[in-house]
Structure formats: C-alpha cells, structure tokens
Amino acid sequence: MVRDAELGKRPATKRGMEQGLQEGMEQGIQQGIQQGIQQGIQQGIQQGIQQGVQQGVQQGEVAVLKRQLHKRFGEPPEEIELRLHKATLEQLEVWADRVLDAQTLDEVLGAP
C-alpha cells in the first residue's frame, strides 16, 4: 500500500515542480522586462540631459559671437547669423578666437 501512495504523490510532485518552474520563469521574465524598461528610461534621460547641455553651450557660443561681431563690425547680415546657427561648436570656437585679431568679417568667418 505504501507504494501506491508514493506513486500517487509523484505525479502531483512533478506537476507542482513544473508549475513552480513555469511561475518562476514568468516572474523572471517580468522582472527582466521591468529592469530593461528602467535602464532604457535612465539612458534616455541621460542622453536628453547631455543633448540639452550641448545645445545650451552651442547657443551660448552663438550669442557671444554675435555680440562680438556686432560690436566689432556692426550688425551682421542675416546670412551670417544663419551660418552662426548652423555651425558646429568647434567652428564657433575657432571664429570666437579669430574675432579678437581680425580686421574684417571675412577674416573671422573665412569663405562659406
């Protein structure tokens, strides 16, 4: 009789293990998804902050250079202002250095 009782328990134990395994896998998947979402959000925030800082620095460089050009050479033409807004940060820095010694607007900005 003991053997019959043991045989009856084995399938239930196996079903319990399978169910436990399935629930564990589902829980693991859910936790993995949640962690992935959190990491994605953090990376997005970090990239947004970096881009915002970069844009702020570039806008500041444009503003300073426009003031310098205006003070040194008068109101710059509209196409010059467009060039300033389209320029890279590196180019703006080069122009900001040149404005200190240049005699003309062309010496600062060079050829377009």
Which residue type sits at 92?
L
Q: 71: which residues sit within 8 A by CB, 6+ positions away?
A: none
35-46: pLDDT as tens digits: 889 889 988 998
Q: For residues 102 and 71, is the Cβ–Cβ distance under 8 A?
A: no
65-91: pLDDT as tens digits: 999 999 999 998 999 999 999 999 999
Q: For residues 61 and 89, is the Cβ–Cβ distance under 8 A?
A: yes
Q: List Cα–Cα distances, 20 to 8, 12, 15, 78, in angstroms.
A: 19, 12, 8, 71
This prediction has a pTM of 0.62
How many other β-carbons are positioned within 10 Å of the β-carbon of residue 72? 15
**Model confidence at 7: pLDDT above 60:** no
From 78, 18, 10, 9, select the one nearest 69 (Cα to Cα): 78
Question: Residue 105: pLDDT band by 50, 70, 90 thresholds?
Answer: very high
The Cα 17–Cα 70 span in angstroms is: 79
